[in-house]
Amino acid sequence: MSVWGFTSALALLSCVGLVWAAEPPDRSSAAPPEIIITSQTLVFKNQDNTAVFEGKVVLTKGVFVMHADHMIVYFDGPSASPSPKGGSNASAPPKPATPDLPSFGNRAVSVIDATGNVAMQQGTKRAKSKKALYYQQEEKLVLTGDPEVWEEGYRVTGSKMTMLLKEDRSIVEGSRVIINDTKSAPR
């Protein structure tokens, strides 16, 4: 049985955008939430600026929680590091960690690539997919592989969901929205 008691779930989506996004935090008064990742194994590849987490991976950032079978965290940093698409930024100058992004040493988290039974939750908002890419700097979450998002009163499915969290806007390709009458009992 899953942590939520019935099925894998995801978060960060909003009904107004047909997927949800939380109200943006006041960045001037509070430090950014730290990212905590737990797993059965971790392989840190210093030269590649990556950390590979395997087995029952759980990422927590504030009230956002993501579960996956496998997760790769890509860091900005002083050594050449491949992008999640297989490219290289060897010619790019090193970028120091910025104070508004979680960092590891002098490296800021750049991209988090989660695969396998990806489930997320933020409050009552949930989602699931086979793959999720989170772009830290842009605060963008891309779900592929039968993504599904739900909250009381609605459910959204599609072939690809892109959540632009800073803008509180979502784009769903191949969308299907199911709106329930909240006054009637679930079937």
Specify if 57 maps to a domain: yes
Residue 182 DSSP symbol: T
> According to the model, what pLDDT value does residue 32 have?
66
Specify if 185 maps to a domain: no
Range of the domain at 67: 35-179
Specify if 62 maps to a domain: yes
* Distance separating alpha carbons of residues 161 and 147, to the nearest angstrom: 7
Specify if 54 maps to a domain: yes
Structure tokens at 164: 């632009």
* Distance separating alpha carbons of residues 69 and 57, to the nearest angstrom: 6
* Distance separating alpha carbons of residues 168 and 187, to the nearest angstrom: 31
* Distance separating alpha carbons of residues 59 and 171, to the nearest angstrom: 24
As a whole number of Å, the end-to-end CA separation of the chain is 21
- Walk along the chain (187 residues) and give the pLDDT tens digit of each residue: 322 322 223 333 333 233 343 444 454 456 667 889 999 999 999 889 999 999 999 999 889 899 999 999 999 876 543 455 544 444 343 444 444 545 556 678 899 999 999 999 988 889 999 999 999 889 899 999 999 999 889 999 999 999 998 898 999 999 999 998 554 433 3
The structure's pTM equals 0.68
The helix (run of H) or strand (run of E) holding residue 127 is strand 125-135
CATH of the domain at 113: 2.60.450.10
Specify if 127 maps to a domain: yes
C-beta of residue 45 within 8 angstroms of C-beta of residue 76: no
The helix (run of H) or strand (run of E) holding residue 116 is strand 107-122
Specify if 14 maps to a domain: no
> According to the model, what pLDDT value does residue 78 have?
62
Of 161, 171, 173, 164, which is closest to residue 22 (Cα–Cα)? 164
Specify if 7 maps to a domain: no
Structural domain total, the chain: 1
> According to the model, what pLDDT value does residue 123 have?
87
Residue 138: left (phi > 0), alpha (psi -120 to 50), or beta?
Answer: alpha
> According to the model, what pLDDT value does residue 25 have?
47
Specify if 113 maps to a domain: yes
